[in-house]
Structure 1
Amino acid sequence: MQLRRAMIVVAALLWLLTAVFVTVTVLPLSNSHLWWIRAMDFPRAQYVVAILPVLAVCLAFGFPGRWVVVALLLACLAWQVSRILPYTPIWPKEIRLAPEAAGAISVMSLNVLRENERYGDVIAAVQAEDPDILFLMEINDAWEQALEPLLAQYPSVLRHAKDNHYGLIAATRLPVHDLRIEYLTTDPTPTAFGELEAPGGQVFRFVGLHPQPPVPGVDTKERDAQLVYSARFARDSDVPVIVMGDFNAVVWSDVTRRFKRIGQYLDPRIGRGLLPSFDANHPILRFPIDQLYVTPDIAVVSFARGPYVGSDHFPMVARLRIDPELAATLNRAPDGVDSAELERLSEIVEKHRLELKAIDRTPR
């Protein structure tokens, strides 16, 4: 009798866990911008790890409806794996690495975490990398003041300290044609926009993004519109483009994949590994939300995660060559956008442009 009761409890628990896995798999398929649904996009790798032992238990023990549970778990597992598989070494690479050469530039992005007071660790990490382009997020007055000795080493510094987790600094030692703040959304999240010149004389664009995350009280409509709009905004000319920053969206999310398609960008993570960048303080719950995207006319020499600096984000660093001829031999052609999706996205972009115009935030 006790064994039977134990089996009933185990079966009920397996059904319950299966219901949870089905829920977190199915709900993100919707177009909902609700924060708690979009947050389910993040831990797909963790879902895979959690599903496997539950599936093993189901296969080992017989109980009523076992094969229904197994089928549901297999379906959930297959879907979750399909989303993260491109970001593993078994997937074909979009970008083959270029050799190091004179004229390569280094870029570094880091969300410093406003409350973090390990200023020296951040300065040391930046000095060790010595990037030609530095993009820092969550900069407030205290961080700006602490970083002054470091920023003094850069001829061009864009400062936009804020006390709301969305301040930023963009600094570069490259020749600058343009370096400014743009607001590509109706919420208070600025974007760094630069038109710079590589050592070989090639002009390119750098865009630094940090949209709002899906957290209680903040749904993702503005984040998603900002990413879609910025993808189009950055690509309104034929010059090469580098995009970096804390997207607050994982690489496999629909909005990030859409951003990539609209801008015709390439992702060095594809075929290499997840390189999870957040949360640096929790080794199990880490997600790849700090992104680097480049247009096909940019060759990537290296892309890596930097050291722990006290923030909840790791720095992301890369070396790049603005060399379209070389890039053409190394980079795969980006995924296309079909006409139906392009029309729908154009409507989103135009609607967002009108919303920005209404509050006098139309980008230059």
Structure 2
Amino acid sequence: MLIAASALTVFLAVSTILPFLPLAHGIVRVGDFPRQQSLATALFVVAASLLLGAEGAAWRVIQIALLAVALVQLWFILPFTPIWRRQSADFDPATDKGEALKLLASNVKMSNDRFGELESEIRKWDPHIFVLMEVDQRWRDALSELLSSYPTVVDQTQDNSYGMILASKFALYDTVVECLLTDGVPSIVTTVTTPEGQRFRLYSIHPEPPVPHRGTEGRDGETALVALRVKDETLPVLVTGDLNDVAWSGTTERFRRISRLLDPRIGRKVFSTFDARFPLIRWPLDHLFHSAEFRLEAMHRLPACGSDHFPVLFELVLCPDEDAESEPEQANGDDLSRARELVGEAKKRDEDAIGTDWEG
């Protein structure tokens, strides 16, 4: 038992330390993901050792090391619990005047064929805007009737696990579909105009996932590039999508500092959305960030519809004035220089997008 506990402690300690290294590589960055699982495992082993009466210097070292691991993991997770101060302001109908917006986002998983289940969820919630990722022609055909009920559809169907469709009941202008840094990995950027004439910018993105054998320059560079663009926007902004990164990572924190966008999960809940198939292995990969003109009414993790991601739905109100419970930290020169460095590194790559062969 001592040998097994020692090996597990070393593993947890290493995986906890690795993400602090300033290296854009999957073997380093994946340590950001299972913080909840590492916390639970560390506390379980400590509790089990105490209950079983494990004694001796070796066990004390293990217990102290595991408690240190647990404290580090708690530091990252606690902001995404109700004990933390919220960033996003709640919508108050007594004082806030604005327009309601329901936005649904879903990574459908290209090989998934449970089309009807997702369509039923979309029809049930009737969002003003929905964004689908990993859509191929099968998905486009299966949802054709639903899509025809939306006045504006931006269709970037692809068969490489990076297809994207954006459907909107609101008018869209200045819509651009572009591969920001990686060929075959599109993003949709558009200006949305509400029925009452308010406008905001919407970024729908789906960067590459981290894998142990490849660098994360594509994902990190794309997130950094979007942050640099958002910080110069003059209209309110929403950024949504499967960012293939967890809410508490250094990359995501830098994104918030540079973009000055708010995370509605902070001060509320972790909101884990992947992996929908395995209850014990989940983390928050599907995101929505917003500028302070948006108030939060509710956010929902919808039932799994055959994908490895849960669909998510955010109910927001766009108001003419800014308001926030708290704001991200201010970006400093190091943040900006690191973001530009990541963009530069991503541009230099000559690699196929990660995961294009996973669903073949």
Structures share fold, TM-score greater than 0.5:
yes
Structure 1 residues 70-149: aligned runs within 5 Å: 70-99=63-92, 103-149=99-145
Once the two structures are TM-superposed, the CA of residue 22 in structure 1 deviates from its matched residue by 0.9
Residue in 2 that maps onto 1:169 = 165
Alpha-carbon distance between aligned partners in 1 of 2:347 and 2:270, rounded to the nearest angstrom:
33
1:30 aligns with 2:26: no
Hey, what does 1:194 align to over in structure 2?
Answer: 190
**Letter in structure 2 aligned against 1:19:** V
Deviation at 1:226, TM superposition (A): 0.5
2:60 maps to what in 1?
67
Q: Distance in 2 between matches of 1:132 and 1:154?
A: 9
Q: Does 1:47 align with 2:41?
A: no
Q: Distance in 1 between matches of 2:54 and 2:265?
A: 39
The normalised TM-score by structure 1 is: 0.89
Matches within 5 A, 1:295-306: 295-306=291-302
Deviation at 1:320, TM superposition (A): 1.6
Structure-2 change in CA distance of 1:351 and 1:52 (3 Å): closer
- In structure 2, relative to structure 1, the CA distance for the partners of 1:39 and 1:347 (3 Å cut) is closer
Q: In the aligned structure 1, how far is the partner of 2:340 from the partner of 2:166?
A: 29
Aligned-residue offset at 1:329: 4.0
Q: 1:282 is paired with a residue of what secondary structure?
A: coil
- Give 3-state SS (helix, strand or coil) of 2:116's partner: helix
Following superposition, the deviation at residue 217 of structure 1 comes to: 4.2
Q: Name the CA distance, whole Å, in 2 between partners of 1:298 and 1:217.
A: 39
Number of matched pairs: 345
More moved, 31-40 vs 273-282: 31-40
2:334 match: 340
Deviations 1:121-144 (A, max 9, x none): 111111111111110000001100
Structure exhibiting the larger radius of gyration computed from Cα positions: 1
Tell me the alpha carbon deviations over residues 328-354 of structure 1, each in whole angstroms, 9 at most, x when there is no partner: 344423321123333333444466578
Question: Residue 284 in 1 paired to residue 277 in 2?
Answer: no
**Which residue of 2 is the match for residue 259 of structure 1?**
255
Secondary structure in structure 2 of the residue aligned to 1:201? coil
Q: Give 3-state SS (helix, strand or coil) of 1:171's partner.
A: strand
Q: Report the Cα distance in structure 1 between the residues aligned to 2:41 and 2:192, rounded to whole angstroms.
A: 46
C-alpha distance in 1 between matches for 2:299 and 2:251? 22
Task: Give the distance between the partners of 1:215 and 1:344, measured in 2 at CA.
Answer: 21
Residues 119, 147 of structure 1: 8 Å contact kept: yes
- Cα distance, 1:353–1:53 mapped onto 2, change above 3 Å: closer
Instruction: Tell me, in whole angstroms, the C-alpha distance in 2 between the residues paired with 1:186 and 1:247.
Output: 14
Residues 96 and 139 (structure 1), Cα distance of their counterparts in 2 relative to 1, 3 Å cut? same
Give distance in 1, aligned partners of 2:6 and 2:269. Answer: 33
Unaligned runs of 5+ in 1: 1-9, 357-364
For 2:202, the equivalent position in structure 1 comes to 206
Alpha-carbon displacement from aligned partner over 1:146-190 (angstroms, at most 9, x marks no partner): 111000011111111111100010111112222221211134211
Indicate conservation of the 8 Å contact 2:98/2:318, yes or no.
no
Partner of 2:357: none
* Structure 2 gap ranges (5+): 351-360
Q: Which deviations, in whole Å up to 9, do the C-alpha atoms of 1:14-59 show, x marking residues without a partner? A: 2222111111111121122222322221110011111112112344
Following the alignment from structure 1 to structure 2, what is the Cα–Cα distance between the partners of residues 189 and 334?
Answer: 28
